[in-house]
Every structure is written in structure tokens, then in C-alpha cells.
Structure 1
């Protein structure tokens, strides 16, 4: 016998309310200088929030769902993945267990956030579910997830749950859409922020311009930082990079993608053309200074 529609809706409503209630103890409001955001307890004493929703200076405070206010300090932040990590007394809150699950296209998701310490919830659909991508600031994001949902600006940093109640990521404001920073990305970046306070990025000290050659794609050196690693290796303005670690260069973007946290300090073989002649150079990748 077919279950009446009212009963189905009642069951769905109860299930959603239960999912939100389980997440509520971990959700916090983040208050910084003229900025408001949401966040969640990642580990004991550590809170994850959206970097975009965090002021660049001034004091930070946390308001928990029971109305308690506590001071917080910035443990680290990464502008490229929009993840910030705060230290605060979280003794009365429960850390969330992040899942690396990627939601199916068309599946339901719930964003649990906070407004002045009061927990909020919003229901939406996964409008895009794709593979790994790079943000406009160069951060590696493990999956492209977009939600068809409306959120206020201070709900940024809220926790995203799937229909099973698993915490799959953090909601942030994209360009005309709500993005999800996946659980796998948060786990990777937050762990580095906890240990080092920042995410190291490789640095060449070069200004590059893509060029098309007769038989190759190259990256022309437009400028050289005289104190950077490329200048130390002997690369000059006007050189054209055509090879990277004994492979043909596929483009400037692919070269920049190789400058992740693990690249710092590594030695690469760079093939350049100088005056039409090939030159081999060994270059030790440096670390980009904090902005």
C-alpha cells in the first residue's frame, strides 16, 4: 500500500530535524572586526571557519549554541582554499567528524550555520558535483561541489551535511553560487595550519607569459625577482621555458600547479631556450612569502 504523501513529508521533516539537532553542538558564530561568519569545532580547542568571513585584524570571539562567548586566536589561515583555523576553549562542544564522501548530483544537502550564536539550517540540492579543481587564488580543492541554496553572508563557514547526516564540508560564498569546501580538503589544509600556521607555496620569482612556438608551448620570462630562486639559478628575462623535469611544458598553468606545498625545497630540471639554443638549468624551488 502506498504511504500517504503527508506521512512521507512528516518522516522527511523529522529526519532533517534530527540531522540538524545532531550537528547543533558543534556549530559556532565567529565574530571579528566588523565581520560575522559561522564555523564548527573541528578538534578539541580548534575551530574551522571561512577565511573570507574573517577580518584581517582585530580581536576574534566565538559564540556557542548555548550563548557562551569565548575569545579566540587565529591558528592559521589559507586564502587559497578559504579555510581558517581558530584556537578557543571548546570544552562544552563536540568536535565534528568530517567525511570525505562526495555527494551525488541532485542529492539533498543541509547547511547548518549560526547567527549570533543561534543555530540556523537551510535545505538545498547539489547542483554540481565534479572533480578536483584549483581556486582563482591557486588552492587545490578536492572536488567541485555547488549547492542550489540561498545563504546569508554570515552563514559562510557553516557545516554542510548530506542526507545521511555526514559532515561533507564547509559552505562558502562563490561567484553567484554557494560552494562546498570538501571534508578531504579541510582535513588536509587544517592539519597543516595546526602544525605550521600557514600553507607553504612554491616560488620561482618569475613573471611568465605563455607563448606558442613552432613545435612547442613555452612560457616566456617577462620579469625576474633578483633575490628569487630563478635568478640564483641563472634564468634571465627573455628566456623561454619549454621543459620541466624532462617533460615538455604543457602551459603556464600546469607549471604553476606544480608549485604546491610539497614543492618547496625540491630541485627541478628546467629546459629553456635562450637565443634559440637549448639550455638546461637546475632550480631549487623557494617558498612564497606570506602576503
Structure 2
């Protein structure tokens, strides 16, 4: 007599193995200087990998699923969202199909990565699902997804796949947990890197320190870039920024959040306290210079 539990387990096992087999051809190994990571073919000739797992300098090579190893170069990288884009001859390797689906909390997922070109797979559980959030470096991430799984450094940049076989994002190592950079973020950032090579960020040219005021909070100007937009507008060291576009400032982080890619070139009204007196400035947000 057949054990129904054994039959169910075999069916689950077979389904997971099939998902890995369908996903693995798009997954690659990335070797940069002394670091190894994973990645995936995003478009013909373009590979997405985890920026944090990519060396800052040195030669880069990509090993495809067919064991072919090709030289690669950086098309662009964004430290704030952990997305890097490489240009490489991907041959006939099929690109991954990303899905904007957000898996349910508690559902099973797989991380399909590569180790020196050989595919690897790890079974995970979706341990947290949340709203859009901002990384510690200021990048906009379209959904908060965490996986309960052990992730080797060399497996960062692999595909996170839900139980239906849809690639929902890229697995990376976050602070004390494994995060998924969702497909929506990858598509948005990688497209910008493909066309521009970098992600523009707004720039005021100010060093700021949060301060408490009777009416709330402010951002004290500690230093001013003499060539920056704020200096051109007339803002000085010692000024305290208290508002932006007639809205009260809620903190330095809130001000930083207002300096996303779409802010570059926009004109804003900055409310300042100078020696206790209110002053207003019109300021054109610049583009943050590359480090």
C-alpha cells in the first residue's frame, strides 16, 4: 500500500527540482578580483549582480551555465539599492523572467545561485513581507522581503524564486538577515544603469546636523560646499533648515528622502532660521557628484 505522505513529499520534491531546472540556465557566477558572487542574465549581453558582493576594482569575469567564461565590465552600479549591471557576451543564454509578484508571508521560496558556474539551490521561507522602504544608503526598495535561509557570499546575486516558479527578485545579504531586492526595483534601477551608467541623486551641497527646536526639529548647516546649489542660493553655515516647500521638516533623513533621482533640477523653497529670524531661499537641486 502506497504511503500518501511519501507520495505528497515526492510531488513537492519533484516540483522544487523542476523550478530549479527551469531557473538555473539564466544564473551565472561572477568573479571580481578575489570575490565570487552570483548573478543572472537580465537581458542579452547584460547581467545583474549584487553590488555589495562585487569588488571595487580589478578584472571581472562571468561564468555562464554552459561553463563558458567571459570577460565582463561594469555598465553601472548603485550602492543604495545593491544593484550592479555588467556587460558581457551572454551568447544564447536565456534571460531570466522577473515577476513583480510579492510572495506571501510564510510561503516557501528558493534561492537559485551558482558556485564557480555550477547551479546551487537553497530552500527558504518568506519570513517578512512589508511595504516600500529605504536602505541605509538611501535607496528606494519597492517592497520589504526577507528570507529565512543561509546565504553564502558567493550566492549573493542569485535569483529568489517563489513556489510557483516565478523569479521575484535578487537575494542579498542584509544586516543580520537575507533580503530580496524585488523585481520592480531591479527593473527600474537596471534600466537606468543601462542608459546612464549611474543613478542620479539630488544634491544640496550641505553637511547637516539634526537639532531640536521649540517648534519641532531642524537641520543645522555644519558646512557648505562653496560650489554647491545651497551656496549659490545664499544658505550659510549656522543656518537651521526648518521646512521644504512650505512643509515642516521632520528630520535630516526626511530631507535626504526628498533628494531622489526625480529631484535633480527641481526648484524648492527652503525655510531657514538665521539667528532666530525666518529666511526663505529658492534653491535648484543639483546632481550629487560621483565619489
TM-score range, shorter chain: over 0.9
- Give, in whole Å, the separation in 2 of the partners of 1:176 and 1:276: 44
Alignment of 1:130-145 (within 5 A): 130-145=130-145
User: Which secondary structure does the structure 2 equivalent of 1:290 belong to?
Assistant: coil
> Quick one: distance in 2 between partners of 1:181 and 1:90?
23
Q: Does structure 1 residue 95 correspond to structure 2 residue 112?
A: no
1:56 counterpart residue number:
56
Size of the aligned set, in residue pairs, is 290
Specify the alignment match of 2:190 in structure 1: 190
Task: Name the structure 2 match of 1:203.
Answer: 203
Query: How far does residue 91 in structure 1 lie from its aligned partner after superposition?
Result: 2.1
Counterpart for residue 20 of structure 1: 20
Residue in 2 that maps onto 1:232: 232
Detail structure 1 runs of 4+ shifted over 4 Å in the superposition.
none
Q: Aligned-pair distance for 1:216?
A: 2.8
Deviation at 1:3, TM superposition (A): 7.6
Q: Return the alpha-carbon distance in structure 2 between the equivalents of residues 47 and 182 of structure 1.
A: 16
Residue 219 of structure 1 deviates from its aligned partner by 1.1
Distance 1:247 1:62 in 2: 48
* Equivalent in the alignment of 1:46: 46
Deviation sequence 1:10-64 (CA, Å, 0-9, x none) = 0000100110011111010001111100000001111000011111111111111
Question: Which residue number corresponds to residue 243 of structure 2?
Answer: 243
Shift of 1:133: 1.0
Give per-residue Cα distances to partners, 1:236-256, cap 9 Å, x unaligned. 111111110111112111110
Give me the whole-angstrom Cα distance separating, in 1, the residues matched to 2:138 and 2:233. 25
TM-score by length of 2: 0.97
> Aligned equivalents of 1:243 and 1:27: distance in 2?
47
String of CA shifts for 1:161-195, please: whole Å, max 9, x gaps.
00010010000011221110000000000000000
In 2, the alpha carbon distance for the partners of 1:43 and 1:23 equals 15
How far apart, in 1, do the equivalents of 2:86 and 2:4 lie?
Answer: 47
Structure 1: unaligned runs, 5 residues or longer: none
What is the CA deviation profile of residues 52-78 of structure 1, one whole-angstrom value per residue up to 9, with x for unaligned ones? 111111111111111111111110000
Residue 5 of structure 2 is aligned to residue 5 of structure 1: yes
Corresponding residue number in structure 2 for 1:147: 147
Q: What is the distance in 1 between the residues matched to 2:234 and 2:98?
A: 46
Compute the displacement of 1:215 (Å): 1.7
Aligned position for 1:157: 157
What is the SS of the residue equivalent to 1:191?
A: helix
Q: How does the TM-score come out when normalised to structure 1?
A: 0.97
> What is the match of residue 121 of structure 1?
121
Q: Distance in 2 between matches of 1:73 and 1:212?
A: 47
